[in-house]
Structure 1
Amino acid sequence: MENRRRLSVRCLTALGFLLSFAAFLSLTADRWREPRLNFANVEPATSQDIFEAPKDNIWADLRPEEADEVYQFLAKEWADLNVTRTPRHALDNFIYTLETLQPNKSDALPWAKAVLSQGLDGRSHYSYHAVGPLPVSPETRVVPLAFPFTSGRNYVSKDMPDMVSTMEFALSLAENVADITTELLGAKVDRDDPNGPDSLLAFPRTTLNDAGHLFGWVQFFRPGYNSGALSILPQGIYARINAVDGGSGGEDADSDWKVGEWFYNGVMYDSLGEFRAAVFEPGFLKTPPNVDGSWTDTEDFDAHPDGRELPTPISIQPLGPRYKLDRKERYVSWFGFEFYFTSTQATGISIYDVRFKGQRVMYELSLQEAMAHYAGDDPMASGQEFLDSFFGMGTNAFELVPGYDCPGYADYLESSLHRLGKTERLPNNICLFEFTSDHLLSRHTTATSVTASRNTFLALRSVSTVGNYDYTIDYLFYLDGAIEVKVRASGYIFGAFYARNAHKNEDEYGHRIHDALSSSLHDHVISFKADLDIAGTANDMVRLAVEPVTQTYPWDQPHFKQRNTMHLREYPVERETGLDWPKNAGEFYLVYSSDQKNAWGERRGYRIVSGTGIGSTPHLTVLNSTILEDAARWAEKDLWVVRRKDTEPRGADPFNYIDPANPLVDFTRIADGEDLLHGHHEERDGDRDAKEASGGEEDYDGDLVVYFNVGSHHIPHSGDIPNTLMHTSASSVMFVPHNFADRDPSRESVQGVRLQLKHKRESGGFPGQPGGGGGGGGDEEANQEELRLRGREGEKGGHHKLQTGANYFGAPYREGINLPLKALEPDLEKDYRSGSHRVSDLSINGSAAGMWFKGP
């Protein structure tokens, strides 16, 4: 296997929000109901015909029966490996995950992707394999899946597969210092009541350095018995642990660990004896314990401010949906938009074959990775980082709360996970709904009329709970053809212990936010992929700059010799590169069709903009992260443009978290500066020779991909206690039509009203001017003549005759509607099905090796 073993085992551990992958939900059949809430007393205006997708969803996950066939096939193919469907130990050989292998754009054959966890030489190895074609037949075969990985290999390995043994070692370590923790914290580890109010938990974070030495730190936490607030209840005691031989990871992995230095209140102690002696020395400087209490509660049932006795305003949909949904194929049609969607275990929802007005604008829109990178002045906070696809953005997308996460009228859909030989169903964890914004799409007031257009959009939503954070992920579609990707975060921050000592530099890494709690500065950078096909696959990207300029115009002479003004200047993006959002928003990033133009001779395109949210979307502040190394180079710029290749389907891989020094997918080998010129462009001198010398592709056809980031520089403050709020953590990127159509496409679909006011003169100017609207009343005959002229009866498309008063475009509500209570407030006692959630609990750690967890 690999000689280069600088992998960071980093604990994928405790503080790594490790998943407990064997504690699966046992969902009983009687809890499965029709996912959509049924408002029995509401009759839609028209009944929808049966809606079917034009073709099968080739991106859909495996059906349970398909997955079972593949499991049986692999059991025979790998009989010599003694593969088990239900592992009993971390070093067993078993199929960790099984799902659809997403087809390449150029080849849609159905294959499955299997991850094999194999124990070799005391270590767990995880390897990707392709199984197909499907369904299983004599032609089906299993082959190593290596082509999607820039490393050229299909496997990673972990030096410390059995985290359970390591956790046991940390627990024993904590028991050995019960006298110290009782003295300093008033609490100690209690195996009989581990989550009690006076209990402690101990978690390790481990790292393998360049020399191959495995070491780490153990930190103490209170369990968060009130609201599961463990991540904001760190205690300020840290112990260094060292692996004697680098960590064999076998049955007796804990025997390899030795305790080294101790750290408390800014002071490093060389040994436990030295630390114990200091603690019980008279005058020893103690820090206050970080104690749980009502301050960590996420809700207050007792407060009664004015207005809380009344329910909040809500959105309703009394006459049924206006979109069409094929639930089986996961296909959607809505006012010109059409697309397929699916869900994967690592990254959650992905969208494919996005078309607007019958033309494809994107082949794929999907999450790639979600990173959090911390900084701090203690052994834990200073080295914390997470790559959440490892824990599973789809695996941890749990059931949505109807009426809260999504409107009660939304369509709710489930997901299935094939892991450890079983199929796990996650009910109602995806929702689809149309919503009317709190602001208009457009409006205009003249002297004699007011026009208001409602801003309705379509949302496809899921929520991924990875440890302490809940990420709400939206794919939004607007009537003008715009597409937005938006992420909001909530949940508990990961705090740091607030120490009081002369070494502490106040506010260097965060703020004091409770008695013994400090916030931890961190960056959230979340990567998405957009495979754009703007009016075809041949596209170009340009930077359209708004620049100051000094110009001379003949009409200014002789009064101005020069005029200081501004103009547009276009800079083609000729090579794969990373870009940052420009200063003063002074550049437009545009993806144009290489050869298609609109009616006015302008290239058809889409603009990429930092969307609605708090500030511009960020990239990673840390330069050359010593922890992430090469695992997330995509985070170093705001967006990237690269060639689309079958061999580069993803910008990251979940197992990058295990071996960041030598990741399966190194993004720098995707965005490696290849030429983006093609077709109608003249090739630059030397380009052809350079390509041939480097083995580059000669047939690039202009099919490009944009990787873009959303997220935030999160500096938690007192308002993040107990939970971060979504409206202050939102971030998005929008793709906006730019000369894509001949006029605004939303005019055909938007709902609204034109209020035509009574007046004496024809409108068109300003009040007080000849021909301008002058206000109300009077000459009815002149008024009707003006309305006939405004109706433009003889003009194509001008069939509507305006009348004085309200002129609706689209259908308004004209009759009263009786709604059942369920339409306003879903019955969560009946409509929420999950018995419990298998959330990444910081007190339960899988092995991070095949994600095995030691059962009872």
Structure 2
Amino acid sequence: MERRGKPWLVPTLLLLLISLSSLAYFQYPQATTTSSFDPTSHPKSPFKAPKQNIFSELTAAEASSVNTFILEKFGHLNLTKHPKSAKDNFVYIVETLKPNKTDAIHYLHPQGTDADADAEAAPQPPERWAKAAISENFPDGPYMVYYMVGPLPVGEETVIRPLEYCFEEGRNWVKNPGRFLARVQDFGAILDFALSMAEDVADITQELLGATVNRANPNDPQSLLAFPRGSRVETGGMVLWMQFYRPGMGSGARTLLPQGIYCKVDATSSNTSDWTVGQFYYNGVLYDDAEEFRAALQEPDFQRTPPNLDGSWTNTEDFGEYADRELPPPVSIQPYGPRYKLDKKEKYVSWFGFEFYITSAMATGISLYDIRFKGQRVMYELGLQEALAHYAGDDPMQGGLEFLDSFFGMGKNAFELVPGYDCPAYADYLDTEWHQSYKTHTMPNSVCVFEFTADYLLSRHTAQYSVTASRNTFLTVRSVSTVGNYDYTIEYMFYMDGTMEVKVRASGFIFAAFYTANNTKSEDEYGHRIHDALSSSMHDHVLNFKADLDVAGPTNDMVRLALEPMTMKYGWDQPEQPVRNTMHLKEYQVSEETGLDWPKNSGEFYLVYNSEDKNAWGERKGYRITSGTGMGSTPHLTILNSTTLGDSARWAEHDLWVLQRKDTEPRSADPLNYFTPHDPLINFASMANHESLEHGAPDTNYDGDLVVYFNLGAHHIPHSGDIPNTLMHTSSSSVMFVPHNFADADPSRQSVQGVRLQLKGHKSGGFAGEWSAPSSPSSPNNGDLRTRSSARDDNKTKAWYFGHTYRKGVEVPLEMLEPDLGGYVSSEHDITDLNFNGSAAGMWHREEAFGG
């Protein structure tokens, strides 16, 4: 085929014309390529938050005064400080009742008030109130009841009243518990029943498992334990399926060591003496009672499965010496100190345009409030609401297993972080506190704040005559919550362009299933065989977060900006191309409360726009919500209409939700939902009830203040690589909030550190396509990085830095490279047992059950 013309000529000529149209003459600055600024010679002044942290948790003094006030005012309840059973009345928790947004905004963002010019005119902080949960015993059993106490500090005006306004239908109580065992007089009776049941079948457990229970020492690693999974029946009764486990109570690996004997217990009565032991289940076979089970053992064709024995395979550490461990890994250091500013007292952070407050809660851990970027409002509230794990399986334990972890306490179980490992050695660490059973518990160093430089650039570009590289540094606020068998690392990340990312990583021991040797029909249906007598158990992790966006103010709209294919006829395309297959953008208003899933092929942008404020180019200021970095798109719950969860976690049914923001709907879930999943205190389905998101019309009360709830997590199908622990890089997920026309141009250019290298060459100068031009005295040094240097005669590569560089070497103390962990503050942690101790039955003093 004959080749006609030069196809590369047209685009080349086009680029040349564009270059000529923007031709300008520049001169490079004559300064040296390194700054004379020495950060170490400039001491930092103390940093203070601009306002009081009105979201902070109660102080120890405040919590003590609230407890005393309740004891005095509720004398008729005969509240005890040392409850020994659910029949005792006691104050379970006290914590901050977060102020309503309508009150908080008046303080944080006063309209028409110059607080600096006239301090007396500045609005005062909203009233401070406490929330209390009290266990009260009524004739039909114990209840958990919420109250509000305030205003604080406690004084003549302080009152206590039912906390009703933020719960569905004004209800402030749940029966304690609808599906667990709080009606039993004491926790010890439950353990005693389990031990008695196990002793009655000791011959069977010895025969099949090679072990029995040890009543004298539940921590005996060679003995067995029995734990229940409770479930209600329609008649109002209670059924327990008890499963045997090894080793002892103190082992972290217990969820890897289920044993394949299950026992069904009728626990309808409030007295354990009336409980009855029924069926047994082993290796896929159901036996009517222990006698039938014993008889089957004697049959020659009885099929056994190996016992699930502990060993080195459950160890999370290998202390052996190996050649590839001779050198320690690289670490990050911070020679000149932090670039962010932190007011530890108010827990207020400022970093390159971002500003926000940090607070914590016993149930949900840390949350951020009043997030601003470059002085503009971005988000009022960002924080965890609930963490769900839902399992599936064909045995009596895994088949109905689920957890709502806020009940166990994502904040309560946020333990001390390990410097140099959980966070860089140079990070700042914050303590958190929570108040339970009349005591204040301090968790030292449970939140870290640090800046980090990524292993990839924020941006770069190689042109014909130059290379520009911009370092990618970001700020992180991190905590780790260890609930039972899993450690959840939760972090809030901030980038220099205004992007925010919420990320969850998980590690720990999986909650595994016993492997049934005669399993044929359901082989690999719920997981994989991962050890001699162990099978993985598929499950969903869904963690729900609240993002109360205030993009450049509270009046916002949400749209779906779709990328859609189309066929179009263009006049300029005729006659060569009659029609052209192409694509375009089409915007769909989200006009009512709804749940959304991440679109196929990422074919839609979910955007929250300010309804009124626009950037310099007339575009609405907005933020995009998108599934971020991690293992694929963030998930929602696989199970449809879960029979176990009921109505307690309807937020898990879609990836994200958009709702009207209301003071009466401050959260998507409540920890006490765990008690009554079919009649929860907060039913998210009642919140997301398709109310209109259109505002501005005369007949609507909605003002455009919307809130987004989004889910992180994973569809976890554990495999052999999850033994002994799941790895964090294989179980991470995130959602990002990315500026979309929020600024007039990329704001990171004002903050980022980087370099422009002028490459060797006769024409080395500006951007590719620009003409070289001689320097001229009339061309002043305007500081523009694109300006030209007259000193090009040496034809060498030149480096032009934006931002400061390190000027000299530093001596790094060993603690900056490898902290001395001998000073670790925390002592022994209480175990969060996801069956007994973490249930309603374990609310009162657990030491009574274990003999101290």
Using structure 2 for the length normalisation, give the TM-score: 0.88
SS in 1 for 2:152: coil
Deviations 1:190-242 (A, max 9, x none): 12343334311100111112221211200001126896210011111001001
1:796 deviates by 8.0
Distance 1:289 1:352, change over 3 A: same
Match of 1:82 among 63, 75, 78: 78
Tell me if the contact between 1:354 and 1:364 (Cα under 8 Å) persists in the aligned partners.
yes
CA RMSD of aligned residues (A): 2.1
Q: Distance in 2 between matches of 1:837 and 1:718?
A: 29
1:793 partner amino acid: N
Distance apart, 1:283 and its partner CA: 3.5
Q: Cα deviation per residue 1:340-368 (whole Å; 9 max; x = unaligned)?
A: 01000000001000000001100000100
Residues 583-602 of structure 1 mapped to structure 2, 5 A cutoff: 583-602=600-619
Superposed CA offset, 1:703-724 (max 9, x none): 0000000000000000000000
Select the residue among 207, 216, 221 that pairs with 1:192.
216
CA deviation string 1:83-122 (max 9, x = no partner): 1223233321111001100111012321000110112236
Q: Which of residues 297, 306, 310 in structure 2 aligns to 1:279?
A: 297
Partners of 1:425 and 1:825 in 2: CA distance:
26
Contact residue 168 and residue 254 of structure 1 kept, 8 A: no
Aligned to 2:735: 733
Q: Secondary structure of the equivalent of 2:231?
A: strand
Counterpart of 1:234 in structure 2 is 258
Distance 1:733 1:247 in 2: 47
In the superposition, relative to structure 1, how do residues 450 and 699 fare at CA in structure 2: closer, same or farther (>3 Å)? same
8 Å Cα contact 1:544-1:588 kept in structure 2 = yes
Find the residue that maps to 1:826 and give its secondary structure: coil
Which one of 578, 585, 592 corresponds to residue 595 of structure 2?
Answer: 578
| CA-CA distance at 1:299 after TM superposition | 0.8
Amino acid in the other structure paired with 1:538: T
CA distance in 2, matches of 1:784, 1:168: 93
Corresponding residue number in structure 1 for 2:122: none
Q: Which amino acid aligns with 1:522?
A: H
- 2:269 is matched with 247
Which residue is equivalent to 2:707? Answer: 705
CA distance in 2, matches of 1:799, 1:84: 77
- 2:58 maps to 62
AA matched with 2:755? V
Aligned-pair distance for 1:801?
Answer: 6.9
| Per-residue Cα deviation, 1:38-76 (whole angstroms, up to 9, x for no partner) | xxxx99453221111111100001111111111111111
Give the drift of 1:799. 8.9
Return the alpha-carbon distance in structure 1 between the equivalents of residues 763 and 502 of structure 2. 47
Q: Which residue of 2 aligns with 1:13?
A: none
Q: 2:132 — aligned with what?
A: 114
Q: 1:735 to 1:829 in 2, by over 3 A?
A: same
Cα gap change, 1:297 to 1:512, in 2 (>3 Å): same
8 A Cα contact 1:44 1:318, kept in partner: no
Amino acid at match of 1:806: A
Q: What residue is the counterpart of 1:399 in the other structure?
A: 416
Residue in 1 that maps onto 2:94: 98
Aligned to 1:778: none
Residue 693 of structure 2 is aligned to residue 676 of structure 1: yes
Equivalent residue for 2:805?
812
The aligned counterpart of 1:692 is: none
2:826 aligned to which of 818, 823, 834 = 834
The 8 Å contact of residues 266 and 503 in structure 1, kept in 2 or not, is answered as no
User: Corresponding residue for 1:123?
Assistant: 141
What secondary structure does 1:129 align onto?
strand
Q: Which residue is equivalent to 2:580?
A: 563
Which of 127, 137, 149 is residue 155 of structure 2 equivalent to? 137
Distance 1:179 1:332, change over 3 A: same
- 1:34 — aligned with what? none
Aligned-partner SS, 2:434? strand
Q: Secondary structure at the match of 1:731?
A: strand
Amino acid at match of 2:512: G
Does 1:164 pair with 2:188? Answer: yes
Matched residue type, 2:299? E
| Residue pair 1:186, 1:198 contacting (<8 A) in 2 also | no
Unaligned runs of 5+ in 1: 1-41, 689-697, 773-781
Contact 1:51 1:324 in 2 (8 A): yes
Q: Which is bigger in relative contact order (C-alpha 8 A, separation at least 6)? A: 1
TM superposition shift of 1:756: 1.5
Contact 2:227/2:836 (<8 A) preserved: no
Deviation string 1:520-546 (CA, Å, 9 cap, x unpaired) is 000000000000000110000000000
Q: Could you say if the C-alpha distance between residues 750 and 379 of structure 1 is closer, same or farther in structure 2, counting changes exceeding 3 Å?
A: same
Shift of 1:503: 5.0
Unaligned runs of 5+ in 2: 1-37, 104-125, 792-796
- Which of 619, 634, 640 aligns to 1:623? It is 640
Match of 1:481 among 476, 480, 498: 498
Q: Residues 209 and 801 (structure 1 numbering): CA distance in 2 closer, same or farther, change over 3 Å? A: farther
State the AA in 2 paired with 1:341.
Answer: I
Shift in Å at residue 798 of structure 1? 8.1
Equivalent residue number for residue 177 of structure 1: 201
- Mapped contact 1:491–1:723 kept (Cα < 8 A): yes
- For the residue of structure 1 that corresponds to 2:313, the secondary structure is helix
CA contact (8 A) 2:605 2:626 kept: yes
Aligned pairs (5 A) from 1:485-634 = 485-501=502-518, 503-634=520-651
User: Is contact 1:194-1:223 (8 Å) kept?
Assistant: no
Aligned equivalents of 2:592 and 2:389: distance in 1? 29
* Deviation string, structure 1 residues 806-845 (Cα, Å, up to 9, x no partner): 1111111120100111110000012x11121123145862
Q: Secondary structure at the match of 1:662?
A: coil
- Decide whether aligned partners of structure 1 residues 319 and 413 sit closer, same or farther in structure 2, where only a CA change above 3 A counts: same
Deviation at 1:264, TM superposition (A): 0.7
Partners in 2 of 1:756 and 1:733 — Cα distance? 38
Following superposition of structure 1 onto structure 2, how do residues 34-53 of structure 1 map, counting pairs within 5 Å?
44-53=40-49
**1: CA distance between counterparts of 2:368 and 2:269?**
42
**Take 1:792 and 1:211, find their aligned partners in 2: how far apart are those partners?**
88
Amino acid paired to 1:179: D
Query: In structure 1, what is the Cα distance between the partners aligned to 2:606 and 2:535?
Result: 39
Task: Look up the SS of the partner of 2:612 in the other structure.
Answer: strand
Kindly tell me the number of residue pairs found equivalent between the two proteins: 778
Residue equivalent to 2:34 = none
Task: Provide the rounded CA distance (Å) in 2 between the counterparts of 1:351 and 1:312.
Answer: 33
Which residue does 1:38 correspond to in 2?
none
Q: Structure 1 residues 354 and 846, CA, compared in 2 at 3 Å: closer, same or farther?
A: closer
Q: How does 1:380-391 map to 2 (within 5 A)?
A: 380-391=397-408
Whole-angstrom CA distance in 1 between matches of 2:339 and 2:354: 12
Counterpart of 1:493 in 2: which secondary structure? coil
Say yes or no: does 1:724 pair with 2:720. no
Q: 1:276 to 1:792 in 2, by over 3 A?
A: farther
| Pairwise CA distance, 1:784 | 6.9
1:167-189 alpha-carbon deviations (Å, 9 max, x no partner)? 22111101111100000011110
Counterpart Cα distance in 2 of 1:566 and 1:233: 55
Q: What amino acid sits opposite 2:827 in the alignment? A: G
Amino acid at match of 1:535: A
2:396 aligns to what? 379
Q: Is the 8 A contact 1:224 1:233 kept in 2?
A: no
Q: Which amino acid aligns with 1:619?
A: H
Cα offset for 1:307?
Answer: 2.6
Output the amino acid matched with 2:339: R
Q: Secondary structure at the match of 1:390?
A: coil
